Chains A and B, each alone.
Chain A
Amino acid sequence: MILSEKTVKKIREKASKYPKRKGAILPSLTLAYKQLGYVDNEIYIEISEVINVPQLEIAEAASFYTMFPKKPRGKYLLQVCNNISCALLGADAMVDRLEEKLAIKRGETTDDGLFTLISVECLGSCCTAPMIQINDDFHENLTREKLDKLLESLKNGK
């Protein structure tokens, strides 16, 4: 089992609250994602056994939601907003800078497993554009210097 006992227990608890077993698909995926940072076919199979819903239905649901990453990701998920406000204020340059510093392309993960870089749509922080979300935190009004510093401190484990 890739899912931890704790996760399985939580999934069972959640599942028991739904009148139809299928209802538990998304909460289960979310719990799995919280543990692992991603979901994939092996996880669908495990969830399917826990909540007794066909693997197919779990795979279909997971594939529909782009916010469930399907591959393991770096410790830090760098999500650069590239929607209109951020784009006007230099989001592309931010991405270029990150690609250069980390030596990866958008959608890729560094070899040390520390960073995954993706660009995302509007994060609702247009007034402080350009911005980046790293895991659960916003970092706003970015400049090139600020970004470099941020990266350094993450590398140093802060």
Chain B
Amino acid sequence: MSEVVKEKITAVDTVTCTIDGQQITVPRGTSVFDAAGQIGIVIPAFCNHAKLKPVGACRMCYVEIEKMPKLQVSCATMATDGMVVSTNSQQVREGRKAVIEFTLINHPLDCPTCDKGGECDLQDLTFDHGYDDSRFGFDKMRFIEEEKRDTFDDLKIGPEIVLNRNRCILCYKCVRANKEAFGEYDIGAFERGDLTEINATPGGEVSNPFSGNLVEICPVGALTNSDWRYKIRVWLTKTVPSICNFSGSGTNITFYKEDHKNFVYRVTSRCNDAIDDGWLSDITRYGYQIVNSESRLKTPLIKKGGKQVKASWDEALAVIKKHMGQIKDQSGGVCIGGLISPSLDNASLYSFSKLFRTVFKSNNIDFRGDYRYLPSVTDSLFTIAASQPFSISDIEKSDVIITFGTDLIREHHNEYLKIRRAVNFYNSTVYSVNPYAVKTADIAKSEMVYSPGTDELVINGICLVAIEKKLVNSSAAAKLKSKISKLSPGVLAKLTGLSKEQFEELAEAISSAKKVTFIVGEIVARSLDRDKICAALSNLNKLFGVQDKGQLAVLSRYANSKGAQKLGLSATPYEIVKDELKKIWGEYPDCQPRNTDAMINLMKKEEIKGFITVGANPMRLYPDRSFASEGLEHVDFLVACDMFETETTELADVVLPLCSWAEYDGDYINLEGKVQTGKQAIKPKYESKAAFEIMELIARQLGAKLFENEQVKNEEIEKLLKLDSVLPWPDDFLKIEYEKKSSQDGYPVPLFICDDPHHSGHLTEKSPSLLNFSDSAYVELSKGLAAKIGVADGDPLRVESPVGKIVVPAKISPVLNSDVAIIPRNFSSTQTTSLLMRKKRVDSVKLTRVEE
């Protein structure tokens, strides 16, 4: 059924028609094409796409409909009552033949040299439905661009995309997807008639964060990408279903691999309507290249005379045994700590926890190496907010969507696209409420940019105005009012930089909504005052009954953050998790729990002497580099497991090569709490091992054993996953203290360090394709701020904070409209986190032009 209408129709509103003699009843608004699909009749098509509005451009989907004199395109004809359709009559077959013949008039028929061969819709449908000859003898119209010409008339139109206009059949899927689904305007259709061509916007290139999808949906070889083209023929590869490792939503993907070379050739979508609609971000599509990277750690390394040298696993494990054993025996396991990446699978996370808690008998573990001042109690408000249920597919069912403290295109690609879809297809209303202008705002009814660091005041403002306007239940209103009315809405408006009317608009939107989605993101999660903000959110939730008619949650950012939480990977797991662990293990360390911050502090005091990182790179990602490095440099014995050499492995005494997620079967829990399996595509490269294996090896070195066998491990994990992991909000409204903002004297520009839209974390810089989009740090700023400083796009800028200084090129943002600086954290060439001070709520910098 056409997605456009799915929601609008009720069960009663159906039509019954007959297709090829079979009766079928479908909701009104269903296309003949989709109705046929429901009874297993596949109509050939080029331009139809399940997630886009029909355009009827290619005419391939012709059917014959009784009482209609001519053939009709089934994709753009809606089924009606009593309609009698035949999809395979003589007339239809002739019509199809004619369409193919017409489509091929100017097509070069260069299949042998075309990379799409073997998976080309045109090739397949011509074979099935075409003539084997053409009546058009004249020369084919041919696009050649002499100067830019590569080979075979290929034209590079973006960092990854190669266009061959001669092969294009003008189905417009690329342009439609780009505009309709992604809201991007960097590829278009120009001219008309036989001169019509697809091309990049004049003067530009196709480089949006979803551009890889255009290649995947092109039915012919007109759009190909440098990642895959001419490397292997598709029929020589095998496919393996997996899950994206770079996002919290668990995008479904397919690996294409070749066994002899033990190589992954590409990633394509594996459409899951509930999560991704079959669209991949470029990070998901090209990020897999890190698996094949030549620069992966190939063997264990051990430090000898101050230098890391290659070693065998046995040697490395012996060193670990010696040192960790020593620390454990002499100082106690509490002097050992560890940090693991929340992108690893359940088995790895759980093994890590079990190693620490049962072998070292230490509670020094965490999975959040890139957040500062994490809560040190189990039921902090932030932990509660992050545990709330969330459903990605409910986004499009919500009439009101609020994004708060989240720059979705840098954090959650799927949700970003779902919101666009909600607006374009279901008329949802979006409000974007953030400390800087974000990309999502182009579809928002209102964009509200509040001053950085005033997040909870915005929420208070909304609540107070709702009370004032009597939009909410009066007894609740009275209770809350006594807690937060110290500052009036007028004052709050002033402090936040918003207006009372804006508070009102939001209050009205939430209270009148039938179904709300309230998304809270990384800007809140990374804030020192996340608990305070979440307290305000708790109030708002209670006051408006948001969750009674929708959803409100802090979305988890990484591939298995939810799994880490459920399996008790924080120093302070949920009580029920702790109880279950006690039951399973028959023990649980009773020493102080230490989260990332506490551990680093203890390293400085030399109370943590041994440390293990698994896939985590605190040296790059912890938001205060000097704090992290002071700690890690003090550690007596550091073991670092990673796929690559990183800032953290550099400091390590033993480095162990880690498998990528493509090299073993693993379970991941997405931000909705859905468990999904990523299947093994290839054998572990070089000498790398999966984290769960490494944990077991370390345990055995120390004379212990984590699991008797795999089944035991799985059963233990199963028990934990069964527990309800949603924490209840506090019963009462909460008081929210207001602290005056510390002044930013001398450092006037608020700074946000986050992911580039084409990168995620510290690994993606090893993907050559992603580097083609973005390969080094920059400081993104608004046109206005750039003018004030006197820099143009690309000019070097000195970025100084009280603790650090970097020089990076200026990048003028088409979106930003206030004085903020945004710097990506994804490139090892620039230590951006050295600008951050962990004790500051809002980091800020001074920007000056570098004189030549």
Q: Which residues of A contact B (CB under 8 A)?
A: 41, 44, 54-57, 59-60, 63-64, 66
Contacts and interface: CB of A to CB of B under 8 A. Distances in A.
B186 interface: yes
Contacts of B201: 54-56, 59
Interface stretch (B145-153, B187-195, B427-435, B671-679): B187-195
Given A54-B185, A56-B185, A44 B202 contact: yes
A64 B192 CA distance: 5
Contacts of B189: 60
B69 interface: no
Nearest to A55: B201
Contacts of A54: 185, 201
A10 B190 CA distance: 26
9 contacts: A44-B202, A54-B185, A55-B202, A56-B185, A59-B188, A59-B201, A60-B189, A63-B192, A64-B192
Given A41-B202, A55-B201, A60 B192 contact: no
B7 to A, nearest CB: 23
A103 B568 CA distance: 84
Contacts of A57: 185, 188
Range of interface residues on chain B? 10 to 19
A44 B191 CA distance: 15
B188 A56 contact: yes
B203 interface: yes
Nearest to A41: B202
Given A41-B202, A41-B203, A44-B202, A55 B192 contact: no
Nearest to A52: B442
Interface in B174-199: 185-192
A98 B189 CA distance: 35
Contacts of B185: 54-57
Interface of B: 185-192, 201-203
A21 to B, nearest CB: 12
Nearest to A44: B202
A60 B203 contact: no
Majority SS of interface residues in chain A?
A: helix
A44 B189 CA distance: 15
Contacts of A66: 192
Nearest to B191: A63
Contacts of B192: 63-64, 66
A57 B189 CA distance: 9
Contacts of A59: 188, 190, 201-202
A44 B203 CA distance: 11
A139 B185 CA distance: 44
Chain B CB within 10 Å — which of A54, A56, A57 has the most?
Answer: A56
A53 B368 CA distance: 42
A63 B190 CA distance: 6
B186 A56 contact: yes
Chain A CB within 10 Å — which of B188, B191, B202 has the most?
Answer: B202
Nearest to B190: A63
Contacts of A56: 185-188, 201
B814 to A, nearest CB: 10
A55 B184 CA distance: 11
A127 B755 CA distance: 69
Contacts of A60: 188-190
A39 to B, nearest CB: 12
Contacts of B187: 56
Nearest to B178: A56
A60 to B, nearest CB: 5
A39 B203 CA distance: 15
A63 B199 CA distance: 12
Nearest to A54: B185
A55 B185 CA distance: 8
Contacts of A44: 202
Chain A CB within 10 Å — which of B185, B189, B192 has the most?
Answer: B185
A117 B191 CA distance: 21
A64 B188 contact: no
Contacts of B202: 41, 44, 55, 59
A69 B203 CA distance: 19
A64 B203 contact: no
Nearest to B200: A56
A1 B424 CA distance: 34
Nearest to B187: A56
A66 B188 CA distance: 17
